[in-house]
């Protein structure tokens, strides 16, 4: 890998050697960059379509794609990649067919918010894993490791939450990407803020005004949530800013299970209806704080 000749990628920390002269591969990585930006904008069906473009380009950039020439469409490219590699071949063709079908439907007939859950499901469970396989086995490139690791971590959170959420009938699963989208917006916020807004924030930190405000908001949330605990926020990293409601029934069984949360620093919120997200995000923090929680609550 190399970090020379940066092709304008926002979310990567490294890319393949000789990327500058490999136009389809640059296109694929730029499309993946756009996938992450679209997650932040909650444009999930469009996200799936962009991921499909990234897959096509990464295959075209390989000797498999070059052998097909310009004649190969999306299905031809995927099938050619599967013929080339056993790990890629192991990916269920039925899922790839569903992914292509959704891509064609969104591209030619548009989409609405009711399509978000399906789009996130197919993006996280099909599109991104298949893209990752193609990078690994057609280009010997670890896509996930090449990302800035704060984003790779939230990609993993989305996968874990989706697997759990699939066991709940009728649940809108579009929230599975919520933490990744919020992290991207938080990290890029200065790019969309006026200079005076940044100066005001810095002044509030210097004078302690922001701390007074956050303490008041934290107390409000603690009263609202009932049985609660304050953790380090898993997204912005601010200490003692993430107020979390704990499951009373699970506490009686000596388990610490977060059910909803809100950060008074970065504004990240997880509702009760967004099952498993708080639990997965705060798993490490909750484990560390377990004995302290039981002691404080007299359990």
pLDDT digits (tens, 9 = 90+) for 155-202: 999 999 999 999 898 899 999 999 999 999 999 987 776 676 656 666
pLDDT in tens, 258-293: 999 999 999 999 999 998 999 999 999 999 999 999
Look at the alpha carbons of 272, 154, 26, 55 in this order and tell me if their dihedral is positive or negative.
negative
Strands of the sheet with 228-231, listed across from one edge: 228-231, 242-246, 258-263, 269-270
pLDDT score of 197: 63
Mean pLDDT of 208-229: 86
Mean of per-residue pLDDT scores for the chain: 90
Instruction: Let me know whether 108 and 175 are in one domain.
Output: yes
Query: Is position 12 within any domain?
Result: no
Query: Is position 279 within any domain?
Result: yes
Distance CA 81, CA 74 (A): 11
Instruction: Let me know whether 85 and 179 are in one domain.
Output: yes
User: Number of folded domains in the chain?
Assistant: 2
Instruction: Let me know whether 85 and 222 are in one domain.
Output: no
For 266, residues 6+ apart whose C-beta sits below 8 A from its C-beta are 182, 186, 233, 235, 236, 238, 241
Percent helix, strand, coil in the chain (nearest 5)?
Answer: 70, 5, 25
Of 149, 170, 187, the residue that ends a domain is 187
**Does 221 score more than 70 pLDDT?**
yes
Host domain of residue 155: 19-187
The structure tokens listed for 176 are: 């599975």
Query: Is position 277 within any domain?
Result: yes
Mean pLDDT of 189-218: 72
Instruction: Let me know whether 224 and 163 are in one domain.
Output: no
Query: Is position 7 within any domain?
Result: no
Collapsing DSSP to helix, strand or coil, 5 comes out as: coil
Query: Is position 57 within any domain?
Result: yes
Of 129, 161, 187, the residue that ends a domain is 187
Distance CA 283, CA 258 (A): 8
**Does 104 score more than 60 pLDDT?**
yes
Instruction: Let me know whether 33 and 100 are in one domain.
Output: yes
Instruction: Let me know whether 148 and 222 are in one domain.
Output: no
pLDDT score of 8: 82
1 band by pLDDT with thresholds 50, 70 and 90: very low
pLDDT in tens, 59-88: 999 988 888 876 678 999 999 999 989 999
For 179, residues 6+ apart whose C-beta sits below 8 A from its C-beta are 154, 157, 158, 234, 235, 268, 270, 277, 281
Q: Output the CA–CA distances (angstroms, integers) from residue 175 to 45, 56, 94, 274, 296, in the order listed.
A: 14, 27, 24, 6, 32
pLDDT score of 297: 83
pLDDT score of 212: 81
Query: Is position 9 within any domain?
Result: no
Query: Is position 23 within any domain?
Result: yes
Query: Is position 79 within any domain?
Result: yes
**Does 4 score more than 50 pLDDT?**
no
- pTM of the predicted model over 0.85: yes
């Amino acid at each position: 890998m190399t970090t020379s000749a940066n092709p304008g990628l926002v979310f990567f920390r490294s890319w393949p050697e000789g990327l500058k002269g490999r136009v389809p591969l640059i296109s694929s990585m730029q499309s993946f960059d756009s996938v992450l930006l679209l997650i932040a904008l909650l444009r999930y069906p469009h996200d799936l379509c962009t991921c499909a473009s990234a897959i096509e380009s990464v295959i075209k950039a390989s000797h498999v794609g070059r052998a097909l020439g310009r004649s190969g469409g999306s299905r031809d490219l995927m099938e050619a990649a599967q013929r080339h590699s056993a790990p890629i071949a192991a990916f269920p063709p039925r899922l790839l067919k569903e992914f292509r079908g959704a891509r064609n439907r969104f591209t030619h007939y548009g989409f609405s918010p009711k399509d978000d859950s399906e789009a996130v499901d197919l993006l996280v469970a099909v599109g991104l894993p298949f893209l990752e396989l193609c990078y690994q086995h057609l280009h010997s490139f670890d896509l996930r490791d090449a990302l800035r690791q704060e984003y790779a971590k939230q990609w993993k959170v989305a996968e874990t939450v989706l697997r759990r959420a699939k066991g709940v009938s009728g649940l809108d699963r579009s929230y599975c990407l919520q933490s990744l989208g919020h992290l991207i917006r938080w990290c890029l916020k200065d790019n969309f803020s006026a200079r005076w807004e940044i100066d005001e924030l810095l002044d509030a930190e210097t004078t302690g005004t922001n701390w007074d405000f956050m303490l008041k908001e934290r107390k409000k949330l603690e009263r609202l949530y009932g049985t609660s605990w304050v953790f380090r926020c898993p997204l912005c990293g601010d200490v003692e800013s993430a107020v979390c409601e704990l499951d009373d029934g699970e506490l009686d069984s000596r388990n610490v299970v977060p059910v909803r949360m809100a950060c008074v620093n970065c504004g990240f919120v997880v509702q009760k209806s967004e099952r498993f997200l708080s639990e997965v995000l705060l798993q490490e923090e909750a484990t560390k704080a377990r004995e302290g929680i039981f002691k404080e609550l007299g359990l």
